[in-house]
Amino acid sequence: MKIGLTYDLREDYLAQGYSLAETAELDSPATVDGLEAAIRAMGHEVERIGGLAPLAGALAAGRRWDLVFNIAEGMHGFGREAAVPALLEAWGIPCTFSDPLVLALALHKGMTKRVVRDCGLRTPDFAVIERLEDVDRVALPYPLFAKPVAEGTSKGVTGNSLVLEPSGLVPVCAELLKTFAQPVLVEEYLPGREFTVGLLGSGERARSVGVMEVFVVGGADTGAYTFDNKAEYESRIRYELADDAPARAAAELALASWRALGCRDGGRVDVRLDAAGQPAFIEVNPLPGLNPSHSDLPIMWALAGKPYGALIAAIVDSACERLPQGGPRP
């Protein structure tokens, strides 16, 4: 097959004047190199495309692919992760990972939690702060946890995100509203163990491929998997696979959430235990980081002793189930 590769290289956006913080979710050359090598090892032809603008130009010029492996995060708005899949959908070209509806929904953590809750799955009670005046209407039990409603890579999650009493909520929300220019998600803080669950496949074929527990060991931001903890994971974080009863319950909840949201091919669901040890959905990442060495899903995969190429092959195989009957178009 001829497989296109869509991505957003961080260095390209830095050269355009975007900041390190604004580009934190974007891709490194090592990620793109790793993906291309893994896909070529499967026997496929690979064409590097780039992000939304190069893709639009390529489509207008008449270039086509049997499948596009998409990891493009985009830069602007709630639809930024959905933009590339939406364009490919309009041209009838299959791509890896979830469709534009799911990617747009999942980027907005508040809307996602509404859907998950409506499906009867446990998630902490929450409020979405659109304006600072909304803080007065928050009627949740403290402590609370506050973060931007639509950021990945734990952007905006700091040691200040854990709010212990009402007087602390206004300054935290004010800072997040000002810094990220988007609403703030405020939810009940769950004090229990934190898991991230790896998922592969779509619909009834979806399955959990591992539960990874996150331990903060570096002495900083001990209450959460913050942006700084994630960025300095080698000194602050210890990852371990978990397979005890709470971990298996977390996996069951993650899989049910994955199917309820209609996620496809591969990704992660974050789950945390409450004070009684019961798991609750925190958020989903249906467009997971795939850096071979420091993204959570590849780390989890490697802890299980599996090669990076097998992870990428499983994602491609899942996406190929949606190819036109009889194989790719000529």
**214 strand-pairing partners:** 239
Return the structure tokens found at 247.
């971990």
> Other CB atoms closer than 10 Å to residue 109's CB: what's the count?
24
- Distance between CA atoms of residues 130 and 182, nearest Å: 7
- What is the model's pLDDT at position 105? 97
In DSSP notation, 23-40 reads TTTSB-HHHHHHHHHHHH
In DSSP notation, 272-327 reads EE-TTS-EEEEEEESS----TTTSHHHHHHHHTT--HHHHHHHHHHHHHTTSPTTS
> Other CB atoms closer than 10 Å to residue 258's CB: what's the count?
27
**238 strand-pairing partners:** 215
The SS3 call for residue 196 is strand
Residue-by-residue pLDDT tens, the chain, 330 positions: 999 999 999 999 999 999 888 888 899 999 999 999 999 999 999 999 999 999 999 999 999 999 999 999 999 999 999 999 999 999 999 999 999 999 999 999 999 999 999 999 999 999 999 999 999 999 999 999 999 999 877 788 888 899 999 999 999 999 999 999 999 999 999 999 999 999 999 999 999 999 999 887 766 666 666 766 766 777 777 899 999 999 999 999 999 999 999 999 999 999 999 999 999 999 999 999 999 998 999 999 999 999 999 999 999 999 999 998 655 544
- What is the model's pLDDT at position 329? 46
From residue 251, alpha-carbon distances to 84, 115, 153, 267 in Å are 30, 19, 21, 13
Residue type present at position 37: A
- What are the b/e assignments for 193-232, b being 16+ CB within 10 Å? bbbbbbbbbbeeebebbbbbbbebebeebeebbbbebbee
Order across the sheet with 144-148: list the strands. Answer: 126-129, 184-188, 144-148, 162-163
Q: What is the CA radius of gyration of the chain?
A: 19
> Other CB atoms closer than 10 Å to residue 46's CB: what's the count?
19
Q: What are phi and psi of 283, to 5 degrees?
A: -165, 165
Q: End-to-end CA distance of the chain, in Å? A: 10
Is the bond preceding 143 in cis, omega lying within 30 degrees of 0? yes
Return the structure tokens found at 55.
């893709």
- Distance between CA atoms of residues 278 and 252, nearest Å: 12
pTM for the full model?
A: 0.92
The SS3 call for residue 329 is coil
Query: Residues near 242 by Cβ (< 8 Å), separated by ≥ 6?
Result: 193, 195, 211, 212, 213
The secondary element (H helix, E strand) that includes residue 227 is: helix 227-231
Distance, CA of 30 to chain centre? 19
The secondary element (H helix, E strand) that includes residue 65 is: none
- Distance between CA atoms of residues 63 and 3, nearest Å: 12
